Amino acid sequence: MPVTAEDLSVPAAELLIVGHYDKAPGYATRRPTGSPSWLLLWTEAGEGLVEQGGTSFATGAGDLAVLGSGVAQHYRVRAGAERWRFWWAHFQPRPGWAAWLAPYAEGDGCHLVAGVPPYVHERVDLAFRRALQDARWTPGLARVAPAEARVPALAVGGPARELVLGAVEEVLVLATASARPEDTRTGEEGDERVRRALAIIAAEPGAPHSVASLARAVALSPSRFAHLFAEETGQTPMRVVRRARARHAASLLEVTDMDVGQVAVACGFVSPFHFSRAFGKEYGMPPREYRARLRGVSG
């Protein structure tokens, strides 16, 4: 019979446990001396109320609460809410995670990553489902039976622990990178939209970007977007797209054996001729010469 969180009033610091609850009003967990492990709470639906030390906050759908160890905890279904459905995990954080969480600190070891965008929710849910299944993974077995969503799982073996920690890390990256701390939400809205457009271009330079498509992605009209983009960056959107494609092409020329035509297609150029001309403007030489120089080939 698997060990569950219900079997442990306070999970030991070295334990790694993940689970999913759908609780009705009246549910509450109180740890007067805190937990030796960290606790992550991802709300899918309903509302919870989280207290740690002297800090208190409500959590709703799309909110991620991360509670440090060693401080008194009390979390429960929020008064007036019909339910609280949430994923949870007890864990010890990796050193690099502190920097991601720092902008979301609330005090007393609490962190609230509020308002994670809806487009991220499915990936977060999949990461938790994978963690629940990977907690039972054993080397040498061909497969692991699908995990029951309502049965918490304890990751015991080293490989299983690393897989589950990887999933927890994915959740933290997705949430902290897509949400914004409260103190950054008061700036001009246009700045954030331009930054979002730049991120879209950088993530996939070879996509069929246009002023219209980028404007739709950041909920602006094409004319407003083009004006704002130029005002913020000093360049037109398509100029930035062309530069991003050229940089991507330079990387492919350096580390792959794709021919120039294949690189042109992969980077979103309409033809090898167009690619060569645009690349030459950025690097001062055609693609073939650029690759030859990188590889020390003369002529």
Q: What is the mean pLDDT of residues 151-166?
A: 88
Structure tokens at 119: 């487009």
Q: Per-residue pLDDT for 158 more than 50?
A: yes
- What pLDDT is stored for residue 195 in this prediction? 85
Torsion of CA 167, 88, 84, 133, to 10 degrees: 60
Number of domains composing the chain: 2
Q: Is residue 49 located within the same domain as residue 108?
A: yes
Q: pLDDT digits over 234-255, tens only?
A: 899 999 999 999 999 999 999 8
Q: Is residue 179 located within the same domain as residue 152?
A: yes
Distance, in Å, from the CA atom of 46 to the CA atom of 28, rounded to the nearest integer, reads 14
- Last residue within a domain, chosen from 137, 164, 183: 183
The boundaries of the domain holding residue 261 are 188-299
Q: Is residue 178 located within the same domain as residue 192?
A: no
- What pLDDT is stored for residue 182 in this prediction? 55
Q: Is residue 22 located within the same domain as residue 153?
A: yes
pTM of the shown model: 0.68
What is the CATH number for 170? 2.60.120.280
Q: Is residue 162 located within the same domain as residue 20?
A: yes
Structure tokens at 52: 């740690």
Q: pLDDT digits over 19-63, tens only?
A: 999 999 999 999 999 888 999 999 999 999 999 999 999 999 999
Distance, in Å, from the CA atom of 278 to the CA atom of 150, rounded to the nearest integer, reads 55
- What pLDDT is stored for residue 5 in this prediction? 43
